[in-house]
Structure 1
Amino acid sequence: MARKQLPALPQYRQDAVTRRLCAATHLDEGFAHEVHEEFTADRMTAVGLPLGVNLLALVRHAGAAVRRTEARDRRLAWLFGGLVAAVLLVLYGLTAGPSPAGTVGGCGILVVFGTAWWLVYTAERQARDAAQEVFRTGAKAEDLAPPAPQGAEKRLLEMKKANVVPYTASAERTNPFVGSGKKIKEVVWQPIDVSRPAEAPGGGKLTIKDFDAVDLHTYVAREMANIAGLEGLRARNRLYVLGTHVPHLGKDLLPDPLGRPLAQIPKQLVQAGLLNPGAGMRTYLSLERVGDGGRVIVSMHLRARLQHPSLSWEVAAYGIPPVSGAFGRVDGLPIDGFERWWSLVRCANGQTWPALRGAPGRNHRRGAANNRRARDLERLRRDISKRHVAHDYGAVDSIRERVASWDQLGHSDRMDSQDFLHRLQQGVLIATERFLKDHNVDTSSFDQAQQVINTQTYNFSGDITGPSNFGNNGQISAAYGQGGQQPSGAPGQAP
């Protein structure tokens, strides 16, 4: 059907959230170090799925921001040492009577403060320039920053097609789908009788074609995008593994017991988790839909429970709201002209002394934290290799989860998300019916079950049937990361 020729309205960028987070790494030192450490530092745990975020671009920009701030702090620390020496010379000149030492010390103080001011000004200007460039220009975000370490980039590329997700043992009780956000609904649909053959066109019964849960998952994954009418829908079978059970899969998942798990495993293991689930190992078909500009992410995790003579679907729907408004600093930065220059001058005037005074302490704390992490990892690896201590390799959450805020969820986001979920539900039902008909199964039992299933409703604020997820006034509690603390920065609106 021909479409009407209408003017094009402005659209969100598809990578709007990625660009906002990349900009935030240049403007928020704490966020930059958090991202850099999580994805490039030595570790023994998995990380959550990067839904709606280009991790390669984010890690590259975080690395550039970290290198810039560390270089600034190293220079400021040397300047602080020079300031101390200059002050001592001034004091000596005051106590020893007229002496060139006092003059030299006074000049030294002026030079130190002038140089420190210029370092702070330059670092802030470079940070803002980098943030504005990635946020506003059309070039690819990953091309605007130097590459990360080769090993880290390889892992990030593998995560784009991850087919296994180790999750921390504590998530088993609440949300094993780490990285998918907050639960909207969990339900097992009414069983369907798949043992009766369909009627033959000329009378009699057709012969049921053999099938298993892998065949059904494969069919639904292949047909869902067209059936549901959701462009950009991503469908992938993944094996979800309890973090403490990761070693049981051997080198296919954990080549080195003292390293981190892989993001991709042989597809036979993924299929095995569907037909013969192991201890703490089950395969789900994950349907993921990223909303306009990456603002909202809706996912539905499905598992076909085929135990003849019946079939049922285990369904878990999850959602991630828009990025926290704390990441919106880039929106308010002056772009050019006198306002930009004056804003940089004011920033340098206010930050020079705190930055100069705190540089030695920041360098020391950074080095101490690195040494502490290295000692902790060494101790843990020694316990694993020598004492055979069980270790939880599972991911706790994801970077996209931590930067989200339910306070940023608007009316359009809620309506779009509910539409996505209903389309996904209807798409699964249609795909299941077509699959059964293709295999000569009588669908009268399916028709009866569908009437009950279609009464399922979704509320993007939380699970309307599960009060455990509700806080004040029926709103879902928005926790951030492992400790439930709000992060220090990230964007809300797309450019």
Structure 2
Amino acid sequence: MTDIVLPWARTGARHAARAPWRQEDETTRYLCAAAHLDQEFADQAIRETLVEPLRAAPPMPGVNVGAVLREAVAARTRRRIRDAILLVCLLGVLYTGGYLFMLWLLYAIAWSYLSPRHAAGQRSTLLREWSGVVKLQVVRRIRRWALILFLVLAVLVAANQFAPREVTGSRRAPDPTDIGLLPWVFVLIALLVVLVDEFLLAALLSRSFRPGPGFQAAPTEGAWRGERLVRNLGFPRLRRALGRFEEIEQDTDVLVYRDYHPFVGSGVPFQPWSIALPLDPAGPSKPAEFTLTELYDHISTELAKLGGSASLTPERRLGGLTPRHQVVVAAETLLDHLHDERAGWVLPDVDRPPVRTLPAEIVAELRERPLEWMRYYRCFQVETWDRNLVVSTYLHLAADDKMLYLEWTPCVLRPVAEHYRVADRRPATPWAPIRHAFGSLLSLPVTAPRRIQALFRTLRPIPQPHGMLVPDKYGAAASLRELTADEDVANYFQRKDLERYLQLLEARAFRAIGEFLTARGISVVEFQARANQVINNHIDNTGGRLNFVGGNMDSSVQAGSVSGGISQDGK
């Protein structure tokens, strides 16, 4: 039997000998913990990646994709084993002790109904467990009637308990309230199962996923006995599928997406804008010709100069600004253009996932001559706050000898949600898992529908009829990091840093474009006027602060045209 060391025990020499801790492991650590804390996240992660072997892999800054998926598979396997045993125990109680099961169900309903909310806005236990099975309105009606039924049955049970017993001869009539030993054996087994599960979760959060040198993305040696077994559950069966993500390239330059938002993996768009302006000569002479590659490279060079000051950018975060080529194509239009040989650049084989990188000559071709259904962007990305907050800006240029078109799309990848960081502040005490175990045991009858659904839910790939290609099997819609993103930044300084980086990148880009056009004899009067208009639209009139929609960074921005040839769009 595997020896499990309790999470509050001393770590010992084994812990000290582990690999050195790195800041870039922080986001991976949070997502590994999220897989064990949130069943829906684990299932979504598997469904979005492992289930679809043809799906493109979006960029995931700061995330060890293979490690997170390994934990998602292990967490799903652990939950299914636990739920299978608990459901067998519940059926055993129902079969051998119907009266005990009825009392258990009544107490579970009362517990679920009367249990306090754990956080602001969080539903009670009963609603939380049943909301995935039936609609919320139906659950509320069930809750009201369940309370009434509980009161009625409680009165009947009490009356039956104290009613005089009928006697036949020398033997007493059968009493339905007499409960044998066997039902209690099933209850005891269920209690042991939930206790073991809670202690395993406590060990994972308190030992495996704690900040510091103890965290290992792939456990080669355990911080506690049994860690490798628990974190590798289900791995042999999916070893081949997981291998595709073990060495995923974070600087991939091909992104095949589905749905509306093209910049998957970068978070939500925030105040995008576009400008179309004439290239009028600044003097009597004809302006010098230029290529889009020259303008892209000039902007990249100027933005790279922002990282030299520790005062302008805290800890010189903009010194880590990474320009990246990004070719973006929608999965639906990619399949619609399979007859075009250029579609073969991205999808050379429909039985394999899209390529991750393209040769430099193809990227240069798309940069100078973009297609309607395949575009080139230059991405500028800065990772800050231990890679937990990521700001990405996508720049697209188009020009001829008369006009220049600029498209600027900032995206914000918000921090990991607060409830996934419980490992950082979870108290190292045995009472928390014991308390949670008894709560799970008491509410087991009302959680049975959810457990049955999870146990028999199979994560299957999207069906693809013979002779047809389904775009959703190829395009990505969300990265693992986006699935765990919070609704807003974590604190005031993160918000101000976000505003700082966006304003610095935008202002420096405007200056670089103006200098580039001036050096080639092109008038920048109209460009400066429209640049000022964009900047003014992003400044709040009361405090000089970037205007967040609805009090937080929403995935949609207010759409509308701005006079002077500037448009701010988003969906």
Gaps in structure 1 of 5+ consecutive residues: 1-11, 92-96, 200-204, 480-495
Opposite residue 427 of structure 2, the aligned amino acid is: P
Bigger drift between 352-361 and 189-198 goes to: 189-198
In structure 2, the residue matched to 1:73 is 83
1:361-382 CA distances to partner (integer Å, 9 max, x unpaired)?
6355543443xx35xx33xx21
Deviation at 1:88, TM superposition (A): 8.1
Against the structure 1 CA distance between its residues 163 and 122, is the aligned structure 2 distance closer, same or farther, given a 3 Å change threshold?
same
TM-score where L is the length of structure 2: 0.63
In structure 1, the residue matched to 2:266 is 180
- Alpha-carbon contact 2:347-2:355 (below 8 Å) kept: yes
Opposite residue 272 of structure 2, the aligned amino acid is: E
**SS across alignment from 1:270:** helix
**SS across alignment from 1:418:** helix
Selected match of 1:136 from 202, 206, 211 = 211
Selected match of 2:438 from 349, 358, 361 = 349
**SS across alignment from 2:193:** helix
In structure 1, the residue matched to 2:28 is 18
**SS across alignment from 2:354:** coil
Selected match of 2:247 from 157, 161, 164 = 157
- Counterparts of 1:233 and 1:41 in 2: how far apart (Å)? 34
In structure 2, the residue matched to 1:484 is none
* 1:396 and 2:507 aligned: no
Opposite residue 160 of structure 1, the aligned amino acid is: Q
1:2-27 CA distances to partner (integer Å, 9 max, x unpaired)?
xxxxxxxxxx9444333223222222
Deviation at 1:470, TM superposition (A): 7.5
Deviation at 1:271, TM superposition (A): 2.7
Opposite residue 240 of structure 1, the aligned amino acid is: V
- Counterparts of 1:367 and 1:428 in 2: how far apart (Å)? 53
Opposite residue 442 of structure 1, the aligned amino acid is: R
1:394-425 CA distances to partner (integer Å, 9 max, x unpaired)?
33333433433344453212221121112222
Against the structure 1 CA distance between its residues 62 and 460, is the aligned structure 2 distance closer, same or farther, given a 3 Å change threshold?
farther
Selected match of 2:391 from 294, 298, 320 = 298
Against the structure 1 CA distance between its residues 476 and 347, is the aligned structure 2 distance closer, same or farther, given a 3 Å change threshold?
closer
- Counterparts of 2:498 and 2:291 in 1: how far apart (Å)? 31
* 1:108 and 2:118 aligned: no
**SS across alignment from 1:283:** strand
- Alpha-carbon contact 2:254-2:327 (below 8 Å) kept: yes
Against the structure 1 CA distance between its residues 458 and 291, is the aligned structure 2 distance closer, same or farther, given a 3 Å change threshold?
farther
Against the structure 1 CA distance between its residues 263 and 78, is the aligned structure 2 distance closer, same or farther, given a 3 Å change threshold?
farther
- Alpha-carbon contact 2:489-2:495 (below 8 Å) kept: no
Selected match of 2:40 from 23, 26, 30 = 30
Deviation at 1:239, TM superposition (A): 1.0
1:329-384 CA distances to partner (integer Å, 9 max, x unpaired)?
3345222xxxx2122111111112544785686355543443xx35xx33xx21xx
Pairing of 1:94-493 with structure 2 (within 5 A): 106-132=180-206, 133-144=208-219, 145-146=231-232, 149-155=239-245, 157-168=247-258, 170-171=259-260, 175-189=261-275, 191=277, 193=279, 212-218=291-297, 220-221=299-300, 224-229=303-308, 230-247=318-335, 248=337, 249-257=342-350, 260-335=353-428, 340-355=429-444, 362-363=451-452, 365-370=454-459, 373-374=460-461, 377-378=462-463, 381-382=464-465, 385-386=466-467, 393-429=474-510, 431-432=512-513, 441-442=519-520, 445-446=523-524, 449-450=527-528, 452-453=530-531, 456-457=534-535, 472=550, 477=554
Aligned residues: 426
- Alpha-carbon contact 1:27-1:131 (below 8 Å) kept: no
1:436-476 CA distances to partner (integer Å, 9 max, x unpaired)?
79xxx4356358735752564388899x9xxxx9765x765
Deviation at 1:263, TM superposition (A): 3.2
- Counterparts of 1:25 and 1:390 in 2: how far apart (Å)? 27
Gaps in structure 2 of 5+ consecutive residues: 1-21, 102-170, 220-230, 309-317, 557-571
- Counterparts of 2:344 and 2:297 in 1: how far apart (Å)? 26
Against the structure 1 CA distance between its residues 220 and 476, is the aligned structure 2 distance closer, same or farther, given a 3 Å change threshold?
closer
Opposite residue 253 of structure 2, the aligned amino acid is: N
Opposite residue 420 of structure 2, the aligned amino acid is: F
1:63-102 CA distances to partner (integer Å, 9 max, x unpaired)?
22222212222333444454455448999xxxxx99xxx9
**SS across alignment from 2:411:** strand
**SS across alignment from 2:372:** coil
Selected match of 1:55 from 43, 62, 65 = 65
**SS across alignment from 2:393:** strand
Deviation at 1:160, TM superposition (A): 1.4
- Counterparts of 1:358 and 1:129 in 2: how far apart (Å)? 24
Bigger drift between 158-167 and 298-307 goes to: 158-167
In structure 2, the residue matched to 1:488 is none
- Alpha-carbon contact 1:162-1:263 (below 8 Å) kept: yes
- Alpha-carbon contact 1:240-1:282 (below 8 Å) kept: yes
Bigger drift between 388-397 and 131-140 goes to: 388-397
**SS across alignment from 1:136:** coil
Question: Between Structure 1 and Structure 2, whose CA radius of gyration is higher?
Answer: 2
Opposite residue 212 of structure 1, the aligned amino acid is: T
Opposite residue 327 of structure 1, the aligned amino acid is: Y
- Counterparts of 2:66 and 2:306 in 1: how far apart (Å)? 32
- Counterparts of 1:346 and 1:278 in 2: how far apart (Å)? 60
- Counterparts of 2:213 and 2:348 in 1: how far apart (Å)? 40
Between the aligned residues of both structures, percent identity stands at 24
- Greater per-residue helix proportion: 1
- Alpha-carbon contact 1:184-1:461 (below 8 Å) kept: no
1:289-331 CA distances to partner (integer Å, 9 max, x unpaired)?
1221234322111012231255443211222333333334334
**SS across alignment from 2:255:** strand
**SS across alignment from 1:24:** helix
- Counterparts of 2:67 and 2:94 in 1: how far apart (Å)? 41
Against the structure 1 CA distance between its residues 73 and 423, is the aligned structure 2 distance closer, same or farther, given a 3 Å change threshold?
same
**SS across alignment from 2:271:** strand
In structure 1, the residue matched to 2:19 is none
- Quote the RMSD (CA, aligned, Å): 4.2
- Counterparts of 2:444 and 2:350 in 1: how far apart (Å)? 42
